[in-house]
Amino acid sequence: MSVVDVDAESWEREVLKSDVLTVVDFWHEGCPWCIMLNPVFKEVADEYVGKAKFVRFNVLRSTKNRYVALSQGVMGTPTIAFYCGGRYVGSIVGFIPKEDLKHIVEDMMKRYKECVRQSTKLE
């Protein structure tokens, strides 16, 4: 499975404790741009299996999900956020074409390599 659905209960395990670059799609069903982005996100995820982790987070699924999204600074959907070792390293807001998303993922993968080398685990 190239995209994992995550919610408030699995957020820490799947994103904050992930030891690989994690790409999170904050979305919801009532967002037309999110619906347009879903197949693009899945196609890019399919190309990066084993290199990065791709997860979807429905911000309106529950009150707890809303809280997680707000705590991560999500102010609009779709928002794609990147996490390195559980640390936020960047995001983009709005629909993005496949080739642009791939370019940004590649850039974040380069940043991720730097992040691992320069950081220490928080205990």
Active-site annotation holds for 31: yes
Each residue's pLDDT tens digit, 21-55 = 999 999 999 999 999 999 999 999 999 998 899 99
Structurally, what CATH architecture does the domain formed by 3-118 represent? 3-Layer(aba) Sandwich (3.40)
Residue 7 has pLDDT above 80, yes or no: yes
Q: How far is the C-alpha of 103 from the C-alpha of 111, rounded, in Å?
A: 13
Q: How far is the C-alpha of 50 from the C-alpha of 44, rounded, in Å?
A: 12
Residue 119 has pLDDT above 90, yes or no: no
Active-site annotation holds for 34: yes
Q: How far is the C-alpha of 29 from the C-alpha of 31, rounded, in Å?
A: 6
Active-site choice (24, 31, 44, 69):
31
Q: How far is the C-alpha of 55 from the C-alpha of 42, rounded, in Å?
A: 10
Whole-number Cα distances in Å, 2 to 10, 17, 24, 42, 67: 17, 18, 12, 7, 26
Q: What is the DSSP letter of 117?
A: H
Each residue's pLDDT tens digit, 87-112 = 899 999 999 999 999 999 999 888 77
Mean pLDDT across 67-82: 96
Average predicted confidence (pLDDT) for the chain: 90
Active-site choice (6, 15, 23, 34):
34
- pTM to 2 decimals? 0.89
Domain locations in the chain as residue ranges: 3-118
